[in-house]
A and B are shown apart, each in its own frame.
Chain A
Amino acid sequence: MRYNSKFDFVKSSKPFIIFSILITVLGIGALIFAGFNYGVDFRAGSNVDIVLSKPVANEEINKFLTEKNVGHYTMTTGTDRVSLRFDDILTDVQEKELKAGFTEKLDPNASMEVNTVDVQMARELQFNALLALSLASLGILIYISFRFEWRFALAAIIALVHDAFIVISIFSIFRLEVNLTFIVAVLTIIGYSINDTIVIFDRIRENLRFAKIKSPVDLAILVNRSIWETLTRSINTVVTVVFGALALYIFGSESIRLFSLAILIGLVAGAYSSIFIASPIWLALRSKAKPKSAPKTPATTS
């Protein structure tokens, strides 16, 4: 077989699985001890994003805000951009004063984006986000069980949760802001991740049809061959989607920068997990079930 001389994905999957488990554990730890750096969508409060037309000193903004008496806030500044996050909700009157005052005193051509989310709404958004994640996973699980078999479904779901977790861990560890778009990103990642996994599984399924599997070793060779056969596709697809996501991340609007970052991480994780997580897990599940399914594949002597 021409695949024998190449890299054996199945045999070398152990360190990768350990690596993935470590990241997941690290992520769970970060989530438990530090949680997320929630944006206003999930925490209530107001977020003000200002595009400046000229440099304005931080002290001036601080002074201006203290005068307005708007409560506690955190400020992050970039080039020609200021982002303010208020713990308390800005009333529409405060918002109006802030906008008017800012353009009057600090920068007449400033353009702003203001987001305000009420506490109840924030809780609701959070609940909906979790609901969407679980429902999507469930739907995919049912579909794959129906189209393939439950082992494929289980392995795919583990890979999918893994991908979501890598993104979640990175966002938690690096204290990146989590907003509604983050959830959208995670759901998109789930879609892509499953897409990647399905292509490999589809090949395994196809190869199984013509293969004579006598031992777990045969099965491992088959999985490895299937990964190799789809490898060009896996790499090329990731490359094309990464082009889009990377362009969005570097040149896209500030408001979707973190969204693009989440997608970018997730895409790479998705391609990785399809090969190093999903396929070995399916193999492990299937190898254990071997005695049961043995009679099904007629052991013809060739």
Chain B
Amino acid sequence: MKRMLALLLIVVVTLGVIAVTSPSLVQQVKLGLDLKGGFEILYEAEPLIEGGKITQDALRETARSLEQRANSTGVAEPEITPEGSNRIRVKIAGVTDEAVVRDILKKPAELTFRSMRGCDTGKQDFCKVELVGSDFTENGASIHQNQIGGWEISISMKSASKFAEVTREIAKLPQGKNLLAIYLDENVLSAPQVHSEINDTKASITGNYTREEAKKVADTINLGALPLKLTEKYTQSVGATLGQLSLQQTVFAGTLGTILVLLFMLIFYRLPGLVSSISLITYIWLLLLGFNLMGATLTLPGIAAFILGIGMAVDANIITFERIKEEMRSGKSLLSSLKAGSKNSFRTIMDANLTTIIAGAVLFFIGTGSVKGFAVILIMSIIVSIITNVAYSRLLLYLLIRSGLVTKPGFFGVKESDIRAL
């Protein structure tokens, strides 16, 4: 009687916890870009100057800048990770305006001040770069309104003396050449005349800007230049509708598959089948929980691994139940069949699962992106299935038999006529 209560309590508590927590658990699952739309880009970095070297610092710095840029567009949780010696992987899910975000990520946007000092006299171009991005204060660009109501962008420099020196030299140039051009990449924003030395850390970019235009320029300057040049090696972009469709279809397929497995187990194994079904539901719940705790992202191959994992988990039950049935057929009592069956099947299950873990580990260490995600779920599902479909199942079965409720071999799907006398 005591054991029966224990059994009931365990089952009710398990199912209760699952029922209560599942909705929020499902809500919390972080969906990958292939399930809710978004894009992934793998960049390869090259040094800005030829023959330069890519340091880990520069790569990290670049990844950080990319992250700032992505954040400035207001997207949720961009995942930007340096990979290997010269790669950066950018994953952004749930973007509504993908084109804009991608543009901003790529924009090199380097602010330079240039002059005509020492340039070919015949031409009107600014060949001499006087001040580069690093001479300006980071995040130092802002907008302000001038006396006549137009909008200007003010920028600040780190060193007043350097600016003084540059302006002094430019002021010496003849009229028409004494210009200090402000470039954003290869675009001239403005080219004011310099009449005298300016000993200040402030400069303004004037033009016929509206407030919005001025703000945009200031933002671009603030994002600054990337320390490395990036080229796209691999891109994947998924439309939001397509992603949702994939999610719906695959979740439906998964639910259907799970129901079929549950039905199969119930019909074929009866009472142990019920134990297995409870274990399987616990397995799915525990896998989701572990998944959320790890902060992992669910992708399409991930769901596939999830569904295939269900088959693996049930396999542990099948091996055990078959073994128990065999022991029963050989004439053993229910309890000793359970003990012998569990013991003998455990080794088989461990050997079979460990080899699968080896395959999963290889995928995890060699694979990148979605392959890695698949491997994580594969390995996790095996570990979880050992907890639920081996340990938990066994506990339930043990309590079930010890409670004295189950006495007939028929409950296990074993025919009386098949049992040999000892």
Contact = CB atoms under 8 A, between A and B. Distances in A.
Contacts of B359: 136, 139-140, 187-188, 190-191, 194
Contacts of B260: 243, 247
Interface of A is mostly: helix
B146 interface: no
Given A49-B242, A114-B235, A252-B250, A237 B362 contact: no
Contacts of A236: 264, 268, 318, 322
A240 B264 contact: yes
B253 A113 contact: no
A247 B355 contact: no
B363 A187 contact: yes
Contact of A251 (B42, B253, B367, B371): B253
Given A190-B359, A237-B311, A244-B257, A113 B239 contact: yes
A247 B243 CA distance: 19
A92 interface: yes
Contacts of A243: 257, 260-261, 264, 311
A287 interface: no
B143 interface: no
Contact of A132 (B257, B367, B378): B367
B72 interface: no
Contacts of A188: 305, 308, 359, 378
Contact of A114 (B236, B314, B315): B236
Contact of A121 (B106, B233, B305, B319): B233
Contact of A247 (B247, B257, B366): B257
A239 to B, nearest CB: 6
B245 A51 contact: yes
Given A92-B102, A143-B358, A244-B307, A199 B236 contact: no
Interface in B239-256: 239-243, 245-247, 249-250, 252-254, 256
Interface residues of A, number: 70
A181 B268 CA distance: 33
Interface stretch (A60-68, A215-223, A253-261): A253-261
Nearest to B252: A251
Nearest to B358: A139
Nearest to A109: B241
Nearest to B87: A121
B310 interface: yes
Contacts of B252: 251
A122 to B, nearest CB: 9
Interface string A111-125: 111111110110000
B203 interface: no
Nearest to A180: B371
B236 A253 contact: no
Given A247-B307, A250-B253, A256-B304, A184 B241 contact: no
Interface in B197-245: 231-243, 245
A3 B313 CA distance: 29
B348 interface: yes
A293 interface: no
A254 B355 CA distance: 30
Nearest to B326: A229
Contacts of A111: 37, 239-243, 245
A135 interface: yes
Contacts of B73: none
Interface string A170-206: 0000000000110110011011101100110011001
How many chain B residues sit at the interface, stated as a range, is 35 or more
B130 interface: no
A232 B323 CA distance: 10
A143 B348 contact: no
A114 B363 CA distance: 25
Nearest to A133: B362
A248 B99 CA distance: 32
B50 interface: no
A198 B348 contact: yes
B234 A248 contact: no
A226 to B, nearest CB: 12
Given A132-B362, A132-B363, A139-B362, A248 B236 contact: no
A253 B250 contact: yes
B250 A202 contact: no
A109 B317 CA distance: 47
Contacts of A184: 301, 363, 367, 370-371, 374
A192 B355 CA distance: 9
A203 B300 CA distance: 36
A144 interface: yes
B318 A260 contact: no
Contact of A241 (B231, B232, B243, B311): B311
Nearest to A232: B322
B9 interface: no
Given A92-B232, A256-B304, A112 B363 contact: no
Contacts of B307: 244-245, 247-248
Interface string B267-310: 01000000000000000000000000000000011001101101
A263 interface: yes
Contacts of A255: 34, 246, 300
A128 interface: yes
A245 B322 contact: no
With a 10 A CB-CB cut-off, give which of A95, A116, A121, A236 has the most chain B CB atoms. Answer: A236
Nearest to B249: A253
A154 to B, nearest CB: 15
Contacts of B17: none
A248 B257 contact: yes
B57 interface: no
Nearest to B348: A202
B257 to A, nearest CB: 4
A214 interface: no
A64 B299 CA distance: 32
A117 B234 contact: yes
A14 interface: no
B366 A92 contact: no
18 contacts: A49-B242, A92-B232, A96-B99, A111-B242, A111-B245, A113-B239, A128-B368, A143-B358, A183-B371, A188-B378, A194-B352, A198-B351, A237-B311, A243-B261, A248-B304, A251-B249, A256-B301, A256-B304
Interface of A: 49, 51, 92, 95-96, 99-100, 109-118, 120-121, 128, 131-132, 135-136, 139-140, 143-144, 147, 180-181, 183-184, 187-188, 190-192, 194-195, 198-199, 202-203, 206, 229-230, 232-233, 236-237, 239-241, 243-248, 250-256, 259-260, 263
